Amino acid sequence: MDKKEIESVFAASVKTIDGEEFFVFEAPKITAPEFRLYYDDNGRVITYTCEKIEGNYITVDSQTFAECRYDVRVIDGKLSKVNPSLVIYKLKPDEIEGTNCANEDISIVVNEDYANKQLWKLHAYELRSKF
């Protein structure tokens, strides 16, 4: 390869110092990653990632990303630690989304073609502490 080819292929430039030619390569620019926490509609953590995927997310610092805690919630766009004793889960019937269950017994999950079915959805309620 001649100088022109090397310069174009490797993004290098040729410098002459004291009669000798040197190839000077430029280092690529390093960009800091964006640490993301993806969460569902209830604020529960789905995943921590640096990738750009669809869904609700907030950016977090490197320490929070490294901890990768799933016992936190996103409330009003901010990360909040959750005390498990202050969260109540309730299974409620729903008209739009949820899991198809038999009307005779909620513990039996059925197909969409099943005639006597009901949609059930799990709701999480967080009690606010006064402390």
Q: What is the pLDDT of residues 92-124, one digit of tens each?
A: 999 999 999 999 998 999 998 999 999 999 887
**74 and 40 belong to one structural domain:** yes
Token output for 12: 């290098």
Question: Residue 64: which domain range?
Answer: 36-82
pLDDT band at 84 (very low <50, low <70, confident <90, very high): low
% of residues, the chain, pLDDT over 70? 86
pLDDT band at 26 (very low <50, low <70, confident <90, very high): confident
- Confidence (pLDDT) at 102: 93
In total, the chain counts a number of residues equal to 131
Q: Which residue has the higher pLDDT, 99 or 2?
A: 99
**72 and 108 belong to one structural domain:** no
Q: Does some domain include residue 131?
A: no
Question: Quick check: 23 pLDDT over 80?
Answer: no
**40 and 26 belong to one structural domain:** no
Q: Does some domain include residue 68?
A: yes
**42 and 21 belong to one structural domain:** no
Q: What is the identity of the amino acid at 2? A: D
Question: Quick check: 35 pLDDT over 80?
Answer: yes
Are the C-beta atoms of 110 and 118 separated by less than 8 Å? no
Q: Does some domain include residue 59?
A: yes
**13 and 51 belong to one structural domain:** no
**75 and 107 belong to one structural domain:** no
In whole angstroms, give the CA distance from residue 100 to residue 107: 10
**45 and 19 belong to one structural domain:** no
In whole angstroms, give the CA distance from residue 81 to residue 67: 13
What average pLDDT is seen over the chain?
A: 85
Please state the domain count of the chain: 3
Q: Does some domain include residue 76?
A: yes
Token output for 24: 């000077």
Exposure string for 4-34, b = 16+ CB within 10 A, e = fewer: eeeeeeeeeeeeeeeeeeeeeeeeeeeeeee
What is the chain's alpha carbon radius of gyration, rounded to the nearest angstrom? Answer: 28
Q: Does some domain include residue 15?
A: yes
**40 and 78 belong to one structural domain:** yes
Residue among 44, 8, 42, 45 nearest 25 (CA): 8
**78 and 43 belong to one structural domain:** yes
Q: What is the model's pTM? A: 0.53
